[in-house]
Amino acid sequence: MELIELQDICKTYHIGQVDVPVLKGVSLKIDRGDHVALMGASGSGKSTLMNILGCLDRPTSGKYWLEGRDVTNLSPQERASARNQKIGFVFQNFTLLPRTSALENVMLPLSYTPDNLSEREGRRRAAELLTRVGLADRMDHEPSQLSGGQQQRVAIARALINHPPILLADEPTGNLDSKTSEEVLEMFGRLNVEEGITVLLVTHDPGIARHAKRIISIRDGQIENESHVEGQGPGFSPALPGPAPAESGVAGGREGGSS
């Protein structure tokens, strides 16, 4: 059984009197333990697709099965609980609570988990995750005292606190320099290989997308093509026909730095 199955997903925004179709029938399947990059230029609809995959938004039409369950028609409460239990979010701008320690930031999703974990158990689990992302000595630091890479690692730890099967990363390296981007991407790869977590990476940068096992390109609200990256893995960086388009200056720098 697939972890995620989309069938003919359409999404249309109504802006005034005008209908703007953003997704025009997307169908895809993602298996458990897969590492997928969702790639597309801005305006291609990849963010909308990610919102739908993340149960933040509902498709206008089509079906979406998450772990075999149809989540298209869930109530807002049920979708919230799905986000809490099944999906870990990593955002481009980290979105940590300011003036709150890393540990408590990691514990944030626990406040909305129905099974009441004791405070101590929650702390233990958060500390364990922070150790795993290499921040054992930064637990009591506030976001402002952490570097961008460290902040993103806190965000990853937060995404993992409820042991979700899926990690949804929206341009996770967009605000990071090339070195830390590499570290973060490596961490995604490790989580995928070692923990068997399904990682879904949304990016516009082919260089970053290449860290995944499978790349799905989106253009104009439709899946353009799908490709499997050969022999991918941490540190894998095949030669590309030149750096990515102008918008990916950061990624371009990374290319230069790592190869």
Partner 1 sequence: MRIYRPTKTALRALLRNPMRAMLTILGIIIGVAAVIAMMEIGNGSSAAIRKTIASMGADILMVQPGTAASGGVSFGAGSILTLTPEDCDAILKECPAVRAAAPIVRARAQVVHSNRNWVPLYIYGTTPAFLDVRDWNDMAEGEAFDERDVRNSSKVCLLGQTLVRELFPGEDPVGKDVRIQNVSFRVIGVLRAKGANMMGLDQDDIVLAPWTTIKYRVAGTSLGNVNQSSNTSGAGASATVETLNNPYPTEKVELYPQPSDIQAADTPQPVRFTNVDDIMAASRTSSDIDAASDQIAKLLHERHRIPTGKPDDFSVRNMAEMTQALSSTTTLMTNLLLCVALISLVGGGVGIMNIMLVSVTERTHEIGLRMAVGARAGDILKQFLVEAILLCLAGGALGILLGHGGSYLIRVFLHWPVQTSLTAIVAAVAVSASVGIIFGYYPAWKASRLDPIEALRYE
Among 81, 222, 237, 258, binds partner 1 (CB under 8 A): 81
CB-nearer residue toward partner 1: 57 or 128: 57
CB-nearer residue toward partner 1: 169 or 244: 169
Report the distance separating Cα 136 and Cα 139, nearest Å: 6
CB-nearer residue toward partner 1: 10 or 56: 56
- Span near partner 1 by CB under 8 A; candidates 107-115, 120-128, 210-218, 232-240: 107-115
**Considering the rule CB under 8 A, would residue 77 count as an interface residue with partner 1?**
yes
- Separation of CA 110 from chain center: 19
Among 76, 231, 241, 256, binds partner 1 (CB under 8 A): 76
CB-nearer residue toward partner 1: 133 or 244: 133
**Considering the rule CB under 8 A, would residue 95 count as an interface residue with partner 1?**
yes
Sequence letter at residue 96? L
DSSP letters along 147-187, please?
-HHHHHHHHHHHHHTT--SEEEEESTTTTS-HHHHHHHHHH
Residues 181/254, Cβ–Cβ less than 8 Å: yes
Report the distance separating Cα 155 and Cα 240, nearest Å: 30
From the CB of 38, what's the least distance to partner 1, in Å? Answer: 16
* Residue reference for tokens 């709150």: 100
From the CB of 89, what's the least distance to partner 1, in Å? Answer: 5
Among 84, 150, 173, 217, binds partner 1 (CB under 8 A): 84
From the CB of 119, what's the least distance to partner 1, in Å? Answer: 9
The alpha-carbon radius of gyration of the chain (Å, integer) is 18
CB-nearer residue toward partner 1: 44 or 162: 162
**Considering the rule CB under 8 A, would residue 149 count as an interface residue with partner 1?**
no
Spatial neighbors of 22 by CB under 8 A, at least 6 apart, are: 11, 12, 13, 45, 48, 221
**Considering the rule CB under 8 A, would residue 104 count as an interface residue with partner 1?**
yes
Among 7, 12, 60, 113, binds partner 1 (CB under 8 A): 113
Tell me which DSSP letter residue 24 carries.
E
Tell me which DSSP letter residue 105 carries.
H
- Span near partner 1 by CB under 8 A; candidates 26-34, 99-107, 192-200, 251-259: 99-107
User: CA distances (Å), 147 to each of 48, 62, 74, 167, in order?
Assistant: 29, 41, 38, 22
Q: For the chain, give the longest Cα–Cα distance.
A: 55
Sign of CA dihedral 133, 148, 145, 121: negative
Compute how many residues bind partner 1; rule: CB under 8 A: 27
Binding stretches for partner 1 (CB under 8 A): 51, 54, 56-57, 76-77, 80-81, 83-85, 89, 91, 95, 97-100, 104, 108-109, 111-113, 116, 158, 162
